[in-house]
């Protein structure tokens, strides 16, 4: 009898989005078909230590007690050899061979997770994994290079300016003066952070310093964009880099209420009453088609595979601008990416199974290329 494939799910990690990753992983692992796959839940502590996590079912969003992978004195070691096994050391120092995963499902967010670092390790290990590869992950995580790729591909996006911490420290007044040319209001964002961490809206010139200080606390590179008068419309793309045609979901619209000026971290994950994702979005059919078209073009421009969520602005005149690409989107059952697919006729469990199949097929194709 053929043994069921072993799926290693990676979560947690050394980023400010550690807790988001834990909750995402719990949602996915709860839906992986146990009759078709064996599960290996591997959490990464905020210090970077890998360990098997068996209590993942308890992970949930709680403002006062956000989940995390705690150090329990055990550790999982990764062999750099091709197809190497994972080995666990228990608290007493004994070692257990965990085997070589047949598929890896990285559900890590932010730095060291969706920025190409983990994808590079998995590529080195020759392990099939869910999601885009090194380039797409690295470029998609860096908002400056996201803009550069979009611009080079002829995909419409808002204007922006980039400032590094070195440039800012050398002459803060000159840096702020340059940023003011974009107009106000403006948004100040860490270039390589996700989940709206460190993002501020600046409505007058005096607000730039505090906004930049906050952003630089999360990254040494910051981008600034002008306010866009438009609706926030998202689209989920599914498919392989080898597919002649990609699948794009019905677009969804994000609306934020209450005390939130924009779609910030609290609105995304903690204040559930403040955010509504409507899918299908109430837009004209030609606008929905244009969003799907641009989302697929963006997927291709970054050489993505598996999954990607493309966030756009739709202006009052119907113009569509790409805001961001998310190569490792939130994946809890209520997150935007799976929600849009659910509303498009693809249930959460089936979506997960499809992504696992794409990972295997992509790996087979790359091995024979």
What backbone torsions phi and psi does residue 323 show, to the nearest 5 degrees?
Answer: -90, -55
Q: Where are the alpha helices (DSSP H) in 171-322?
A: 172-179, 208-216, 265-269, 285-301
Handedness of CA 165, 186, 322, 196 (dihedral sign): positive
Q: How confident is the model at residue 101 (pLDDT cuts 50, 70, 90)?
A: very high
Q: How confident is the model at residue 263 (pLDDT cuts 50, 70, 90)?
A: low
- Stretch(es) of the chain classified as CATH 3.30.470.20: 139-156+229-368
- How far, in Å, CA of 246 to CA of 91, rounded? 47
- Quick check: 266 pLDDT over 70? no
The tokens of 49 are what?
């230590």
Q: Count of CB atoms within 10 A of residue 356's CB?
A: 22
CATH number for region 161-226: 3.30.1490.20
3-class DSSP state for residue 221? strand
pLDDT confidence of residue 155: 98
Q: How confident is the model at residue 84 (pLDDT cuts 50, 70, 90)?
A: confident
- Quick check: 195 pLDDT over 60? no
- Stretch(es) of the chain classified as CATH 3.30.1490.20: 161-226
Q: What is the mean pLDDT of residues 136-160?
A: 97
| Structural Rg of the chain based on CA atoms | 21
Tokens 């050398």 found at: 170
- How far, in Å, CA of 57 to CA of 59, rounded? 6
Q: Where are the alpha helices (DSSP H) in 202-325?
A: 208-216, 265-269, 285-301
Q: How confident is the model at residue 253 (pLDDT cuts 50, 70, 90)?
A: very high
Q: pLDDT averaged over the chain?
A: 92
Q: Domain 6-129: state its class.
A: alpha beta
- How far, in Å, CA of 22 to CA of 25, rounded? 5
Which of residues 65 and 355 earns the better pLDDT score?
A: 355
pLDDT confidence of residue 194: 65
For residue 252, list its beta bridge partners. Answer: 234
Q: Does an H or E element contain 253, and which? A: strand 252-256
Q: Domain 139-156+229-368: state its class.
A: alpha beta
- The answer to whether residues 20 and 109 touch, using CB atoms and an 8 Å cutoff, is yes
pLDDT confidence of residue 79: 82
- Quick check: 260 pLDDT over 50? no
Strands 38-44 and 50-52: antiparallel
- Quick check: 196 pLDDT over 60? yes
pLDDT confidence of residue 222: 97
Q: What is the mean pLDDT of residues 17-32?
A: 92
- At residue 69's C-alpha, the angle toward residues 66 and 71, to 5°, is 130
Q: What is the mean pLDDT of residues 261-267?
A: 54
- Stretch(es) of the chain classified as CATH 3.40.50.20: 6-129
pLDDT confidence of residue 105: 98
- How far, in Å, CA of 127 to CA of 364, rounded? 11
Q: What is the mean pLDDT of residues 17-26?
A: 91
């Amino acid at each position: 009898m053929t043994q069921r494939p072993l799926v290693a799910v990676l979560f947690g990690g050394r980023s400010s989005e550690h807790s988001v990753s834990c909750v995402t992983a719990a949602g996915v692992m709860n839906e992986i078909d146990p009759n078709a796959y064996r599960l290996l839940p591997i959490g990464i502590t905020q210090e970077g230590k890998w360990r098997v996590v068996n209590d993942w079912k308890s992970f949930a969003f709680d403002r006062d007690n956000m989940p995390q992978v705690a150090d329990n004195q055990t550790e999982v070691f990764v062999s750099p050899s091709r197809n190497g096994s994972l080995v666990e050391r228990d608290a007493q120092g004994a070692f257990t061979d965990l085997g070589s995963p047949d598929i890896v499902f990285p559900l890590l967010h932010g730095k060291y997770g969706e920025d190409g670092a983990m994808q590079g390790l998995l590529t080195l290990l020759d392990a099939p994994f869910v999601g885009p590869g090194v380039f797409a992950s690295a470029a998609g995580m860096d908002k400056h290079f996201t803009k550069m790729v979009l611009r080079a591909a002829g995909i419409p996006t808002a204007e922006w300016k980039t400032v590094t911490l070195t440039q800012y420290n050398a002459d803060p007044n000159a840096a702020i003066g340059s940023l003011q040319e974009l107009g106000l209001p403006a948004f100040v964002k860490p270039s390589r952070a996700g989940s709206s961490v460190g993002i501020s809206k600046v409505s007058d010139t005096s607000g730039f310093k505090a906004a930049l200080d906050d952003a630089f606390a999360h990254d040494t590179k910051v981008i600034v964009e002008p306010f866009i008068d438009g609706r926030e419309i998202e689209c989920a793309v599914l498919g392989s880099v080898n597919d002649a045609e990609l699948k794009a979901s019905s677009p969804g619209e994000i609306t934020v209420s209450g005390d939130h000026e924009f779609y910030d971290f609290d609105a995304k994950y903690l204040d559930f009453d403040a955010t509504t994702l409507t899918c299908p979005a109430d837009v004209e059919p030609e606008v929905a088609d244009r969003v799907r078209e641009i989302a697929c073009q963006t997927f291709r421009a970054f050489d993505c595979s598996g999954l990607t969520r493309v966030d756009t602005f739709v202006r009052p005149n119907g113009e569509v601008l790409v805001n961001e690409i998310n190569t490792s989107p939130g994946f809890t059952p209520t997150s935007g990416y799976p929600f849009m697919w659910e509303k498009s006729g693809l249930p959460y469990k089936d979506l997960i199974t499809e992504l696992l199949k794409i990972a295997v097929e992509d790996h087979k194709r790359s091995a024979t290329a």
